[in-house]
A = this chain, B = another copy of it.
Amino acid sequence: MVEPVKKPTRKTDGFVANDTTLRTFVGYHMKRAFNVVQADLAKTLKPFELRMLTYTALVLIVDNPGLSQSQLADAMDVERPNLVVIVDELEQRELIVRQRVPTDRRAYALRVTLKGQHLFQQATDAVTAHEKALLGDIDTGAQDTMIATLIHIQSGGAKG
């Protein structure tokens, strides 16, 4: 049974802007593609009341039990002050705990709670399924090539 397609697409008539200059930039394509992925991710995480940043922090705490906020901030490429609110949110929702480190009383060891572990698993299943739905029809070889290229860029490309 085919749903009759609604037309909420007001937008600007049939006009399509000429973006030939921008298309010469790889970054332009990266941004536009990432917008789509990010929007899909946000929608996927919404039922769990997670955003990309809070989900990423939760995952990294699961995979790195006991790491400090500084280490987490470093892993997420986020400034320490900005990480505080993210950790606050996860802690208030009782998804993680801040444990004092006996050997260094300045630092906290971050650990996931049982509740956090469960939410992590549910959210990760959902994100995995949604990514597969979004990108599943892309040729495996092309996907591998893209990931390798993206990793290369991460390390600074020709500069790194």
Copies in the complex: 2
B33 close to A63 (CB less than 8 A): no
- Given A33-B30, A37-B30, A63-B21, A138 and B150 contact (CB-CB distance below 8 Å): no
Q: Which of A29, A64, A147, A153 has the most CB of B within 10 A?
A: A153
Q: How far is the CA of A21 from the CA of B128 in the complex (A)?
A: 10
- Given A17-B74, A32-B77, A70-B12, A147 and B37 contact (CB-CB distance below 8 Å): no
Chain B residues in 8 Å Cβ range of A77:
32, 35
A158 on interface, CB distance cutoff 8 Å: yes
Q: Which residues of A contact B (CB under 8 A)?
A: 11-12, 15-22, 24-38, 41, 52, 56, 59-60, 62-64, 67-68, 70-72, 74-75, 77, 124, 127-128, 131, 133-138, 142-143, 145-154, 156-159
A-B CB proximity, top 3 nearest: A17-B75, A33-B150, A137-B158
